[in-house]
Amino acid sequence: MTSNHRFASFVIAVCLLASGAAICSTRVAAQEEHWWVERAEYGTRSQHNDVTNLLKDLVARGGVNGRVAVNNQTMGGDPMVGADKTLRILARNARDEQREFNYREGSFVPVDMFRGRADDREYRDRDEHHGNSGGREDRDNSLQILRAFYGVQGRTIDVTEVLRSHTRGDALSFVVNNRVFGMDPVVGADKILIVVYRFQGAETAVAVREGNVLTLP
């Protein structure tokens, strides 16, 4: 092989290596890019529930095996019985770019792609303060109230501490009403209690209408 041929082969090899590195860098950058959840809706275009706070909490806690299942149970209820539902996530990245992500009912949201809220650390610290920092086995098997909201779409109050105070061992049961929570967040409206909890290693969410009984697990 002549010196010119060897030089040409070397240039081609360097180019291939450089292009391969560029492709690899692009893929790594895409994998490391995070999106902050700004709004999340579950249901159909015409009828859906605002699940923004619920999704933020599920994402902040890492989901189950790094994923959040999209179904009526984890999304806190069925906004339109019998319809094919979708979880629509409006998110923003560090470059202030906005994007909509769509996940059909039965699919999974990859937790490592999203960020729930800026104060995740605050919520984790508060959970540990309330006795959720014991041994791994105890945490996995006991009933843990992770987050609870009461109100209507877009107007809710955080009632996590109230539910924790009503928990007795691994059981929680009471009638959902304004008296229990000490206030009426939306006077005259039919309100819903959404609870995110973990029991025996499984994390899920339930929705109970005002006047009905919440019983966990």
Task: For 26-43, write each residue's pLDDT tens digit.
Answer: 333 444 578 899 999 999
> For 134, how many CA atoms within 13 A lie in the half-sphere containing its CB?
11
The pTM (predicted TM-score) of the whole model is 0.54
Task: For 81-136, write each residue's pLDDT tens digit.
Answer: 889 999 999 998 888 889 999 999 999 999 888 876 544 444 444 444 444 444 44
Q: For residue 2, what are its two tokens?
A: 């002549």
Under 8 Å between Cβ of 114 and 66: no
H-type helices in the chain, by residue range? Answer: 3-32, 52-60, 120-127, 136-141, 160-166, 178-181
Handedness of CA 64, 114, 103, 150 (dihedral sign): positive
Q: For residue 184, what are its two tokens?
A: 């009426």
Please enumerate in sequence order all residues whose Cβ is within 8 A of that of 36, keeping only pairs 6 or more positions apart, or say none: 91, 92, 93, 114, 115
